[in-house]
Each structure stands twice: as structure tokens, then as C-alpha cells.
Amino acid sequence: MPPEILSLKVATFKGGRSLDRVVLIAVWSTYIFVGSALKDGRLVHFMGDTYRDYQARVPGYPGVAFGPLGRVPRPIMPSPDAIEAARG
């Protein structure tokens, strides 16, 4: 289990709920999921096809079946011959 998820479980299931704990859980959860999506975007930008291939091979976050944190399918790229044929 990723440490981010484990820390969320500890924060969620420990003791009573106070307003500051609820705010902490909401902010931390948002930070983790938005940060993960932004990180993937940066890695795609800097590493290109190498990272896209990696994303297509590995599953996303557990329990997330869609969106930026789910499994990312490899985009279908047209062959160079198809591009030439379309140009003219």
C-alpha cells in the first residue's frame, strides 16, 4: 500500500472527529490526488513516449478505474505511411 494512502487511513480511522482533522483530511487528500496528476503530466512532458509506454503497462491508483489516476491507455498513433498518405 502506498504511504500516502496508509497515512490517509491512519488520519481517517484514528480517534474522534474535530473540524481541524476533517479539514486536514480534505486538504491532504486533494493534495495527493491533484499532485499525482500534475506529476504525471510533467513526466509525460519531459520523458515523452517512454513515460507513456510505462503508463500503459502499469495500473493506476487502486480503486480508480478512470481519469488521470486510473490506468492510462496508450494513444493510438498513426503510422508514418498513413500520415504521408493524408498529406497528399
Q: What is the pLDDT of residue 9?
A: 60
Span 14-63, pLDDT tens digits? 666 788 888 898 999 889 888 888 888 898 889 888 888 888 888 777 77
Structure-model confidence comparison of residues 19 and 87, the more confident one? 19
Distance CA 72, CA 34 (A): 16
Q: How far apart are CA 49 and CA 26, in angstroms?
A: 34
Q: In terms of Cα–Cα distance, which of 4, 27, 22 is closest to 12?
A: 22
Is the Cβ–Cβ distance between 53 and 74 less than 8 Å? yes
pLDDT at residue 72 tops 90: no
- Report the range out of 9-13, 25-29, 75-79 with the highest average pLDDT: 25-29
**What is the pLDDT confidence band of residue 82, given thresholds at 50, 70 and 90?**
low
What 8-state DSSP symbol labels residue 76? P
Question: CA-CA distance, 31 to 42, in Å (whole number)?
Answer: 16
